[in-house]
Amino acid sequence: MIKDETAPLEAVVLGTAMSLGGTPDLAHVYDPKSREHIIDGTFPKEEDLIRENEAFKAVLEKHHVKVYRPETLADTNQVYARDIGMVIDETFIMPNIIEDREHEKDGIAYLIDQVSPEDILVMPEGAHAEGGDVMPWKGRLFVGYSEEEDYQAYKVSRTNRAGLEFLEQHFSNYEVIGFELKKSDTDAKANALHLDCCFQPIGRDQCIIYKGGFKNLSDYEWLVAEFGADNCIEITQDEMYHMNSNVFSISPEVIVSEAGFDRLNTELERRGFTVERVPYTEISKMEGLFRCSTLPLKRSY
Ligand SMILES: NC(=O)NCCC[C@H](N)C(=O)O
């Protein structure tokens, strides 16, 4: 059962960096930050990614979370488990994701086999959504998406209107609210790859938000009004680039955050959160962080 972003976590799929397949060539890159690091010769090494990813696993286990791993597929980047499936209520949704990453789904097939068939929802052709864009929160379903023009124009546009409408049809118990995101295939500072790259609810009624990630100012303003300005931690463009909104909630009180996010971590502690600091800078080079690395299966209510 998953109804929100922060209830105490019981079980999760954590992506793996094993058998990453080395540095991709530019023809096979699908986000601007990886692209930047390939060009600069700073694309992360598998051993460093594994070290960071295992440190995250240790923190999850310290908090008694059952951690499942994808089956390792040869030469496949499986770090970001978030995007390849999603759980809403008791339903496991198998979405249509970017073709370059479709193969990653094979790694979690063994887990999906354990879900009863009536709890599996397969997205129809033409509807696209990735888990990083989808967030249940207090009876609402926040969805980052692109309208057709952007969806066709950008590789980093991953959820389309048909995906949004599919969620609307199947989760009529939620009020589905779509937010168009700003996209760039070449400039990571001008790109909100997924909704969780510019926004995430935390605690019971707070959020982390980057204004510039929203294509329409009115969406950002709506969220700030909804959460209340005092309950929003606003982050800068640089903080967005370093993925400050992509922390991960183990519970309403405990947040996993990057060890070097000084301003954010201090602010979270000032607000009463327990911050579990994990070094994750190498993983951040591929335009994802903690939330992106996880696919929560069960939170307790
Ligand atoms: N939820 C997320 O934002 N996931 C990060 C995915 C990063 C990966 N390089 C991608 O472009 O799909």
The CATH code of the domain that includes 161 is: 3.75.10.10
- CA of 162 relative to ligand 1 center, distance in Å: 20
Domain of residue 157 covers 9-299
pLDDT at residue 78, rounded to an integer:
98
Pocket of ligand 1 (CB under 6 A): 30-31, 34, 80, 82-83, 101, 132, 193-194, 196-197, 286-288, 292
Q: Measured from the CA of 131, which atom of ligand 1 is nearest?
A: 1
Which parts of the chain have pLDDT scores under 50? Answer: none
In a domain, 36, yes or no: yes
| Mutation test residue for ligand 1: of 49, 82, 83, 130, the one with most atoms within 8 Å of CB | 83
Domain assignment present for residue 2? The answer is: no
pTM for this predicted structure: 0.98
| Centre of ligand 1 from the C-alpha of residue 160, in Å | 16
- Residue 184, classified by CB atoms within 10 Å of its CB into exposed (0-12), middle (13-18) or buried (19+), is middle
pLDDT of residue 195: 98
Rounded to two decimals, the ipTM of the complex is 0.96
How many distinct structural domains can be found in the chain?
Answer: 1
Tokens of 98: 């970017």
* 99 alpha carbon, distance to own chain's centre: 18
Q: How many residues are present in the chain?
A: 301
Answer whether residue 119 is part of any domain: yes
* Best residue among 26, 30, 80 to mutate for probing ligand 1, ranked by most atoms within 8 Å of CB: 80
Residues 6+ apart with CB under 8 A from 68: 11, 12, 13, 14, 111, 297
Give the ligand 1 atom nearest the CA of 158: 12
Q: What is the pLDDT of residue 73?
A: 98
pLDDT value at residue 203: 98
Nearest residue by C-alpha to atom 9 in ligand 1: 286
Q: Please indicate, yes or no, if residue 237 is contained in any of the structural domains.
A: yes
Q: Is residue 1 part of a domain?
A: no
Q: Per the domain annotation, does 89 fall within a domain?
A: yes
Q: How far is the centre of ligand 1, averaged over its atoms, from the C-alpha of 48 (Å)? A: 18
11-63 pLDDT per residue, tens: 999 999 999 999 999 999 999 999 999 999 999 999 999 999 999 999 999 99
Rounded CA separation 144/154 (Å):
14
φ, ψ (nearest 5 deg) of residue 130? -120, 145
Task: Provide the pLDDT for residue 75.
Answer: 97
**Is 4 part of a structural domain of the chain?**
no
Query: Residue of the nearest CA to atom 11 in ligand 1?
Result: 31
* Smallest CA separation from ligand 1 atom 4, residue: 292
Identify whether 87 is part of a domain. yes
